[in-house]
Amino acid sequence: MNSRAMLRTVALSATAALILGGTLVGCSSSDSGSDAKGGSVDAAKAISAADFGGIDGLVKAAKKEGQLNVIALPEDWANYGKIIKGFEDKYGITVNSASPDASSAEEIQAADNLKGQDTAPDVFDLGAAVALANTAKFAPYQVEKWDEIPDANKEKTGLWVNNYSGIMSIGYDSAKVPEPKKLDDLLDAKYKGAVALNGDPTQAGAAFAAVGLIAAQNGGGVKDFGPGVDFVAKLKQAGNFLTVDPTPATIASGETPVVFDWSFNNVAAAKGKPSWKTTVLPGAAYVSFYNEAISKDAPNPAAARLWQEWIFSDEAQALYLEANAVPVRVEALKKAGSADEKLIEQATFGTQSSDWISPDATQVEAANKVLADRWAAAVK
């Protein structure tokens, strides 16, 4: 496909509604940093690096805190292992990574439960439904690369910013099951007890998108998640739906032979399972961005803002692309010569931009209502 057309569609489809979850250790310092002129800076209220006198002042304040608390960032998810290490190596700041397999909803729960403690999350990486419901918990911040992020991919004050996107796909163990060519194939007895979603769609962005894709493949999608819930109920009735929450370990062991998940996750799973293959069904393709946000109650507010600067830097954005995720600043990376066109084509998984769908704010709200009313009954 034409990557320029693809990128234009990403920007248009990622409206203001679009976004995308161990135990924390150590203690933090809430001491304010100092700007270039030596004045006091309240890092928790800073809305850009300029409030610190520039990026050097922000780095100094973050180094004084000495650590950053992140949550729900598996090392094999969108290259977060390398992204976290890159931040630590560049700034000498320790990253405490908690509950890497947590859902978006559990990120918010952790922030509520740990509020006021030095182990609370500093930053979030969230799916659309959860992020839109919790903007009051975020702190506005605009990174230095702000102007290179399309307006459709950010809240105007910086409460949330799209960071990377994926294509909803089906991963399958080719040694156990045949490649599904269409959605109805998964109702066949060959997939008995085999089909899983990555999480609960009422809580996890990946599972929410999976139901959206299934609905779209059945004539619903962003307009109506009902057909998606109905199809999962059919999978359950056929004995094919698997309630196990898939992880790289369950894929490697063969416990979850078929998984609806983002393409970058399914592609990464092949590293631990050579027979693991990834396919994107023909027709409607579900594409959605995850969102980066800073907790307004961050115990390390300067480090949280420096992390934001790092996430949207050329280096970290290129690391997303390396893992088959489409970074939000991909056009800027191309202009800077930091993005490989072949990697961009690979990350889209052969889908055509005309087939891409993503929900807007109203559609997310409607989908959440359908899931709240019908999901539990469909899978019980």
Query: What's the CATH code of the domain at 329?
Result: 3.40.190.10
- 11 domain-assigned: no
Q: Please report the pLDDT score of residue 46 as a whole number.
A: 98
Q: Please report the pLDDT score of residue 6 as a whole number.
A: 36
Verify that 233 and 364 share a domain, yes or no: yes
Q: Please report the pLDDT score of residue 358 as a whole number.
A: 85
Verify that 78 and 174 share a domain, yes or no: no
- 10 domain-assigned: no
- H-type helices in 69-198, by residue range? 80-91, 104-113, 128-132
Verify that 265 and 160 share a domain, yes or no: no
Look at the chain and report how many structural domains it folds into. Answer: 2
Verify that 143 and 228 share a domain, yes or no: no
Q: Please report the pLDDT score of residue 183 as a whole number.
A: 97
Q: How far is Cα 230 from Cα 5, in angstroms, rounded to an integer?
A: 33
Q: Residues 99, 102, 108, 112: is their CA dihedral positive or negative? A: negative
For 68, the 3-state DSSP assignment is strand
Verify that 159 and 245 share a domain, yes or no: no
Verify that 179 and 265 share a domain, yes or no: yes
Q: Please report the pLDDT score of residue 301 as a whole number.
A: 98
Verify that 146 and 73 share a domain, yes or no: yes
Instruction: List the chain residues with pLDDT less than 50.
Output: 1-32, 34-39
**By residue range, what is the domain housing residue 328?**
16-165+290-347
- 307 domain-assigned: yes
Q: Please report the pLDDT score of residue 26 as a whole number.
A: 35
Q: Please report the pLDDT score of residue 193 as a whole number.
A: 97
Verify that 23 and 127 share a domain, yes or no: yes
Q: Please report the pLDDT score of residue 337 as a whole number.
A: 84
- 144 domain-assigned: yes
| Residue for token pair 């976290």 | 84
- 48 domain-assigned: yes
Instruction: Tell me the residue length of the chain.
Output: 380
Q: Please report the pLDDT score of residue 319 as a whole number.
A: 95
Q: Please report the pLDDT score of residue 345 as a whole number.
A: 81
Q: Please report the pLDDT score of residue 338 as a whole number.
A: 81
